[in-house]
Amino acid sequence: MGSSAGRGVPRQVRYLIKWLVLSLVIGAVAGVLVYIVQSGVARLSAARAMLPAPYPYILPVLGGLIVGFAVHRIDAAASGFGSPTYIHSVQRRGGYLEPKTVLLYLLGTVVTLGLGGSGGFVGPACLIGGGAGSILFRKLRILSRPLALRTGDMRLAMVCGAGAGVAAALDAPIGGGIFAAEVLYAASLEYEGLFPALLASVTGYSVHSAITEFGSPYRRGELVFDFGLAPGLVLTAVLASVLGILFVVAFKRVFDMFQRHNRVGRWRPAIGGLVCAALGLALQGKVLGPGTELFSQMLKPDTAHGAAVVVALLGLLLLGKLAATVFTVGSGNPAGLTFPVLIIGAMGGKIMASVLVPLLECSSAPTASTHIAYVATGMAGLLAAVLNVPIAALVIVMEMFGTSYAAPAALGSIIAFTLARSDVVYGYLDKGE
């Protein structure tokens, strides 16, 4: 049933008009909010980098203190990696999220990542964008008659905002919408919200691209797929599944540890920041912050060192980045897991390329496109294994590197998802957390 203003208009047309309007508005706002977060982090990171050593490496502790005693004091929901709060709001609260939670999470993310905490933008973009969708829907209820808005539409508005935020954060206009729908339920898609989310994610990506200086550096040369690559890529996908299980187990152990020790209270983010700072000092800051520069290094073959040296160095960085991330986010600091997962997956792919290419292809080093094939397999595999989003993982990696890398991305996401799907990083939602 529709309002009198909608009489005579086919239901499909009313649906299309409603979600075109909502998706465009919500997507544009979400794209702008992601840009604000990225700009804040970039400016704070630049200021941190100007300090003499060792101060840039120990600032995650200050970030944890600010989050614990300022952000959490006002709203404890503005913590962690964002996506669980988004999932909880859509599934259990009909898409409702408090404006103060969105604002505090935005500020907390800027503080955490800007001061060197290890994490990414995608989880925050998912929550902030989704929160923007929820808030805008409630503000737009004045248009309920001409748009035939229903209370149940608020959850779809939140999915639209989350998709737009993820699309802007990852430069993935299609993958962002799929991610927002797929992440709601392990191993399945929220089809009701998929099409509005895709409209919003394309809008968010377009608006963000128009105003941002944070361009996508990921595109590389075309890959001519050779079936001789398949054995190495399959082994890389298996490694990604193992790393995915390790990541999920480590995160849950750290999260549960902090939840059990309630006496530390608001000191938890600072303790997580202290562990992150110690790892930053040990590894010369390489594992701190969002890790954009570290990720860029993973996209280039290492021709200066032998395979044993590459494996040792990258193995150390991989474990350091994993530990820094799970302690930063598991202790309650607002930051995302998705981009660190992509970085760790890229490290796994680079390790496998350095070992397997000389063995399987009888060459001393991988070519640029072959190297990216291994990296893409590791990234898609680890993302699918940790977050249980195999379709989104495939599409996001394809959008990053180009469609010629579809086969490596598909191998990684399907194999790693199948091997590691028994557990998800969102498991603690079942406990009512």
Please provide the DSSP assignment of 64-83 as one string: HHHIIIIIHHH-TTS-TTSH
∠ Cα 293 420 243 (to 5°): 35
**Distances in Å between the alpha carbon of 336 and those of 10, 109, 248, 274?**
42, 9, 14, 18
Sole residue written with tokens 């598991």: 330
Predicted pLDDT of residue 1? 39
pTM listed for this prediction: 0.90
Separation between Cα atoms, residue 60 and residue 272, nearest integer Å: 8
Residues 14 and 2: beta-carbon distance below 8 Å? yes
- Alpha helices for 171-283 (secondary structure H): 173-182, 191-211, 230-260, 268-282
Q: What is the C-alpha R_g of the chain?
A: 21
pLDDT tens digits for the chain (433 residues)? 344 445 556 777 777 888 888 899 999 999 999 999 999 999 999 999 999 988 899 999 999 999 999 988 898 888 888 888 898 899 889 999 999 999 999 999 999 999 999 999 999 999 999 999 999 988 877 666 666 677 778 889 999 999 999 999 999 999 999 999 888 876 566 666 778 888 899 999 899 888 877 656 566 567 777 777 889 999 999 999 999 999 999 999 999 999 887 677 789 999 999 999 999 999 989 999 998 889 988 988 876 667 788 899 999 999 999 999 999 999 999 999 999 999 999 999 999 998 888 777 655 556 788 889 999 999 999 999 999 899 999 999 999 998 889 999 999 999 999 998 767 777 654 433 3
Separation between Cα atoms, residue 387 and residue 370, nearest integer Å: 26
Q: What is the DSSP string of 224-243?
A: ---GGGHHHHHHHHHHHHHH
Q: Where in the chain is the domain with CATH 1.10.3080.10?
A: 4-211, 227-431
Predicted pLDDT of residue 219? 60
Residues in a beta bridge with 185: 188
Separation between Cα atoms, residue 204 and residue 34, nearest integer Å: 9
Predicted pLDDT of residue 190? 64
Report pLDDT digits (tens) over 378-428. Answer: 999 999 999 989 999 999 999 999 888 999 999 999 999 999 876 777 765
Query: Of 3.30.365.10, 1.10.3080.10, 1.10.940.10, 3.40.980.10, which CATH number belongs to 4-211?
Result: 1.10.3080.10
Predicted pLDDT of residue 72? 86
Sole residue written with tokens 């089809």: 191
Query: Of 1.10.3080.10, 3.40.50.1220, 3.40.1800.10, 2.40.340.10, which CATH number belongs to 227-431?
Result: 1.10.3080.10
